[in-house]
Chain A
Amino acid sequence: MVEGAQLSPEEIQFQERIDAGIKIEPKDYMPEGYRKTLIRQISQHAHSEIVGQLPEGNWITRAPTLKRKAIALAKVQDEAGHGLYLYSAVETLGVTREQTIEDLLAGKAKYSSIFNYPTLTWADMGAIGWLVDGSAIINQIPICRCSYGPYARAMVRICKEETFHMRQGFEIMMTLCRGTPAQKAMAQDALNRWWWPSLMMHGPSDAESTHSAQSIRWKIKLFSNDELRQKFVDQTVPQAEYLGLKIPDPDLKWNAERGHYDFGKIDWDEFYNVIKGNGPCNRERLRARIAAHEEGSWVRSAAAAHAEKRAKRKAA
């Protein structure tokens, strides 16, 4: 919808509700574009939670202590839960769960491009929690106030749990930075590899972003990608200083006039290339998802058979 385009009386009324801060619920009238935008955004978000389990799953069996292993398991389990809250929210918009999952497995749906990077060392578990979940929180907290009720409510639960994810990551980094020089170097290496992808996580710059303006009008988005990215940089630089780590950006410096950190140019070619499917792990991630879905098929059949048996017994 273009600004100034003719809106129907229903659409005008809808926009007035949004402007008044009234939440939209599943049975309420909504323009087709609003519904489609939400389906795309929430399902991408759900897929990101589910695919996001994979890079960390890699380290569950290799966690350095039992405590870290229990924490990693709890985090990955949370991510499965977050995926489910969000898949349920998508369903309220009139698409079936099966269709949403099929779109992911067929490679038609997108998920956050950051999960297409490999987790090479244990420090990556720290960097993911600290930077990736840290970025996610910054993106997600405003969505708790978005105009669509089921999405906003799911996001409240997710944000509460996500804080644990970020803190456990920072704690891993802190432990490594207080350890041997080799451990600290490992933490620095992880920061070097995850820093730029974490900045890209906030999406294309405002000038390039195709969906931004309408989403902001509909209050699906409350801040622009660049604002959120700046917030992430401002929040993270002092944390890196505390750890004694160096952010891999020679152009990074405090700008007293703006009251923000200036930072270097993002390599958007890399970003679009990963989105197109050419990141280091795109194929591996999708293969792992498909395998998990297929190998889990007997569990679904068994659950259905069990339910049927019990229903028959009850009827008898």
Chain B
Amino acid sequence: MNDWPLWEIFIRSQHGLAHKHVGSLHAPDAEMAVKNARDVYTRRNEGVSIWVVKSCDIAASSPGEKEPLFEPANSKVYRHPGFYEVPEEVKNM
């Protein structure tokens, strides 16, 4: 197991839903990562499709950047439908 890369596992639980991260595992290559993921994460019909991605290939935002990244959205309440007044007489809006 020495130097086997770490893979992040994503499972699509049903047709029509997005793949969702479920965990990680070590495997020597992508094919074996899929096989191991089948055994580790889908023992009870949890999935219809598996993606594996090398952990080192994932670029992530850092917790320290949270404010500059996400703060700007906070003040933009007009992006939500509840911001607008709709008179009761007006239907289907």
Q: Interface of A with B (CB < 8 Å)?
A: 25, 27-29, 74, 77-78, 81, 84-85, 88, 91, 97-98, 153-154, 157, 161, 300, 303-304, 306-308, 310-311
Contacts and interface: CB of A to CB of B under 8 A. Distances in A.
A157 B2 CA distance: 27
A88 B39 contact: no
The 4 closest A-B pairs by CB, nearest first: A307-B28, A307-B29, A88-B24, A28-B63
Nearest to B22: A157
A311 B28 CA distance: 10
Contacts of B2: 98
Given A27-B62, A154-B23, A81 B28 contact: no
B4 A304 contact: yes
A27 B64 CA distance: 9
Interface in B36-63: 39-40, 43-44, 60, 62-63
Interface in B55-92: 60, 62-63
B43 A88 contact: no
A91 B1 CA distance: 14
A310 B2 CA distance: 18
A307 B27 CA distance: 9
B18 interface: no
B63 A25 contact: yes
Contacts, number: 49
A29 B63 CA distance: 9
B1 A311 contact: no
Interface of B: 1-2, 4, 6, 22-29, 31-32, 39-40, 43-44, 60, 62-63
26 contacts: A27-B60, A27-B63, A28-B63, A29-B63, A74-B43, A77-B43, A84-B25, A84-B40, A85-B23, A85-B40, A88-B23, A88-B24, A91-B6, A91-B24, A97-B1, A98-B2, A154-B23, A157-B23, A303-B28, A303-B32, A306-B28, A306-B29, A307-B28, A307-B31, A308-B28, A310-B31
A154 B40 CA distance: 12
Given A81-B43, A157-B22, A303-B27, 12 more contacts: A25-B63, A84-B25, A84-B40, A85-B40, A91-B6, A98-B2, A153-B23, A161-B44, A300-B1, A304-B28, A307-B32, A311-B29
Nearest to B21: A153
Contacts of B26: 97
A74 B44 CA distance: 10
B61 to A, nearest CB: 9
Nearest to A154: B23
B43 A78 contact: yes
A304 B28 CA distance: 6
Given A88-B24, A310-B29, A81 B39 contact: yes
A237 B70 CA distance: 52
Contacts of B22: 157
A214 B37 CA distance: 36
Contacts of A29: 63
Contacts of B39: 77, 81
Contacts of A85: 23, 40
A88 B91 CA distance: 53
Contacts of B60: 27
Given A78-B43, A81-B40, A98-B1, A88 B25 contact: yes
Contacts of A91: 6, 24
Contacts of B28: 303-304, 306-308
Nearest to A27: B63
B9 to A, nearest CB: 9
Contacts of B31: 307, 310
